[in-house]
Chains A and B, each alone.
Chain A
């Protein structure tokens, strides 16, 4: 357990020290949210209605952009081979790395979202539910991104391929994530069913994604 914790601490520290990748993800999120009203027109009512969708889509895209980082750095300098033959099972290694991604990239994106929501005229009352929904859903985002990252390890143009592979898997997260927020904006107070499903998607990803990712890593490292 302490080995896992040490690995997590190492990954988090590396991510913060590197800084740039997280900054790029945040900057990309900002760009997406800025250009959308420029494309759709400044009608504030329209923006308020679609703000949850834009915020979720922007978050997913930013997460996809940073997903390559989960395994690529260690693969390139050989640490992944060491980790694969080390004391930790590869499943745990994969899980820890996805968790590190959530802590260092997912959570900052979630913290940025409310401020970007203000740009989109989102009603202030929805902000708590937005943050809550995103906190519940972003673990799934990071762990599923881990599946994509492990499948495309070391390939050319892996970024684009990763996005293509992961987007169909993101669809349920997106749908339930938006459903949790939108009722506050448009109507009846029925956030609990989609919110609970979002939580279950995250929990399921935390358990299942490392299995798939480890299998993919094993094929890539062979």
Chain B
């Protein structure tokens, strides 16, 4: 972490990693999709719709991973003042938000044939929806504050406050469910999943995670370059105004 604090060194690392990581992503996702669509058997309870699990669950995992990353990066910004922590947090937010969105929509499309409804206000769904709102809040805050230093610190504070809130929401919505909705929450597949379904799931999860890392690194590179561009544009304006003086 400390050795990567230098942006230039980080950029060269990204340049070296991106090519082969892209290959890894394509291969893993390719194998994963093949296993999911053509090899995985139908579930005895859910039939073929279990195939939705192979995109839904990895997306949900990555939505949560993204927020965890942002919370850790927030600590990096506020406590250790790591120079790239706010870059990591800023770029992770849109990626995590998209994966959370995919999880919500694919889950909804899974729920309609299985539960008969596109949406239900149970603990897991509501917590994921709140997570999506937290992501939107972070992105909106980044957009709203012009000065990058202030934006980074404000977003870090919000990220940490939201991180405290997530277990509280999960806990509180569990309570709410117990009090108002005595019917049981539908569980998917039970406690153990057969390997014939588990393996495609893990391959897809691996591919998605590699994709997340790849996109995150590229986005961090773009953000670092964007800040350099802004700095150079400022110097350009300075030179121009001085020349006219």
Contacts and interface: CB of A to CB of B under 8 A. Distances in A.
Interface stretch (A8-16, A27-35, A211-219): A211-219
A12 B172 CA distance: 33
A215 B78 contact: yes
A57 to B, nearest CB: 14
A215 B157 contact: yes
Contact of B157 (A156, A157, A193, A219): A219
A151 B141 contact: yes
Nearest to A167: B133
Interface stretch (A71-79, A92-100, A122-130, A174-182): A174-182
Contact of A171 (B78, B157, B172): B172
B176 A175 contact: yes
A169 B154 contact: no
Interface residues of A, number: 32
Contacts of B144: 152, 155-158, 161
Q: Which of A152, A171, A179, A216 has the most CB of B within 10 A?
A: A171
A207 interface: no
Q: Which of A158, A193, A219, A222 has the most CB of B within 10 A?
A: A219
A161 B162 contact: no
A219 B165 contact: no
Nearest to A147: B161
Contacts of B164: 208
A168 B162 contact: yes
Contacts of B82: none
B168 interface: yes
B239 interface: no
A50 to B, nearest CB: 12
Interface string A176-191: 1001001100000010
Given A172-B172, A179-B176, A165 B157 contact: no
Given A147-B161, A151-B157, A194-B175, A168 B130 contact: yes
Q: Which of B130, B164, B168, B171 has the most CB of A within 10 A?
A: B168
Contact of B154 (A171, A183, A208, A220): A220
B158 A151 contact: yes
Contacts of A193: 175
Interface in B148-182: 149-150, 153-154, 157-158, 160-162, 164-165, 168-169, 171-173, 175-176, 179-180
Contact of B130 (A157, A171, A212, A216): A171
Interface in A133-169: 147, 151-152, 155-158, 161, 164-165, 167-169
A10 B168 CA distance: 35
Q: Which of B144, B162, B165 has the most CB of A within 10 A?
A: B144
A194 to B, nearest CB: 7
B172 A175 contact: yes
Interface of B: 78, 126, 130, 133-134, 136-137, 140-141, 144-145, 149-150, 153-154, 157-158, 160-162, 164-165, 168-169, 171-173, 175-176, 179-180
